[in-house]
Amino acid sequence: MRVMVTGSAGFIGGHVVEAVEAAGHDVVGLDVRTGADVRDAGVLDALLPGVDVVVHQAAKVGLGVDVSDLPDYASVNVYGTAVLLAAMARHGIERLVLASSMVIYGEGRYTCALHGEVRPGPRAVTDLEEGRFEPPCPRCGEPLTRAVIGEDARPDPRNAYATSKLAQEHLAANWARETGGSAAALRYHNVYGPRMPRDTPYAGVAAIFRSELEAGRAPKVFEDGHQTRDFVHVRDVARANLAAMSAAARPGELRAWNIASGTPHTVGELAAALAAERGGPEPQVTGAYRLGDVRHIVASPQRALTELGFLAGIGFEQGMKEFAWS
């Protein structure tokens, strides 16, 4: 197949290109770092002829700094995806693999002893200020037990990045319905690994911790360090893209999959693992918080296993040993 990879020079996109080429496919790369912008219809019209599938990784990532980032998230992620989909329709390309994200869920899935499954709203600033980080039951205020979240959960984006990723899914679903194309949305959980961006406010937490350790500083862990995430290695994510490219098509539909390791860890455990591998300093739990953050988000990887045959192969300990020095 001839495959266009947008964001081909980026962290995840570069690994996707390597996996796609290793599988014997031809790659057409598009990346703003090399002067090709996904928002440029003329560039797309020059590159898309002969392409069989588009793997769309190009995006502005991270939680963002403040509301001044809103125009960029809307321009790159939302408008850029719209321009790409319109170009794909012009050129009769019927297969899209979209890099989506677990951030569209907001808080994860919880159960209450009295009320069963619930989805808490945003945490109150007063609770965060006073160190009460666990979301209570939205109906009775009692403590909750976290559970895994599946792809059919109601979206509840809590920041500009999350909103833009959900908008990408909606646009891709519109494109699929109107053209008869098939869209695969891969909802990445916390991706880490070699070539991860560093020293930028848009970097992921793993990269931020590693940069602090490289500078001889203690990683600063927000809240109490017990917030839970699923950390999945970038090479596993690349394999998931390859699997989605060849998955059975669903004409006229968008189908979503969680791309996760299936083994959650706390942010505190992440910091401790990296610090131990590099010989310190020990992480510092600060109690600070960011309003756009959620407390727990843990995925069910079952649908990806059943439908894509995807199972993450790089465990947390192995991945952290490599990442600490990559």
Sorted by where each starts, the structural domains of the chain and their CATH numbers stand as 2-108+149-325 (3.40.50.720)
Residue whose C-alpha is closest to residue 296's, from 99, 145, 141, 129: 145
* pLDDT tens for each residue of the chain, 326 residues long: 999 999 999 999 999 999 999 999 999 999 999 999 999 999 999 999 999 999 999 999 877 778 889 999 999 999 999 999 999 999 999 999 999 999 999 999 999 999 999 999 899 999 999 999 999 999 999 999 999 999 999 999 988 999 999 999 999 999 999 999 999 999 999 999 999 988 776 678 999 999 999 999 999 999 999 999 999 999 999 999 999 999 988 999 999 999 999 999 999 999 999 999 999 999 999 999 998 899 999 989 999 999 999 999 999 999 999 999 98
Question: Residue 292 has what pLDDT?
Answer: 80
Asked if residues 263 and 319 have their Cβ atoms less than 8 Å apart, the reply is no
Sign of torsion over alpha carbons 292, 298, 302, 304: positive
> pLDDT at position 50, please?
98
What is the model's pLDDT at position 65?
Answer: 72
Q: What integer pLDDT is reported at residue 202 of this predicted model?
A: 61
- Looking at residue 262, what DSSP letter applies? S
Beta bridge partner(s), residue 266: 228
With CA atoms as reference, report the closest residue to 280 among 205, 212, 195. 212
Within 8 A by CB and 6+ apart from 45, the residues are 87, 90, 91
Supply the pLDDT for residue 204. 87
**Residue 91: alpha-carbon gap to chain centroid:** 28
161 is catalytic: yes
How far is C-alpha 118 from the geometric centre of its chain's CA atoms?
Answer: 23
Q: Are 100 and 186 in contact (CB under 8 A)?
A: yes
The catalytic residue among 73, 105, 110, 161 is 161
pLDDT of residue 142: 96
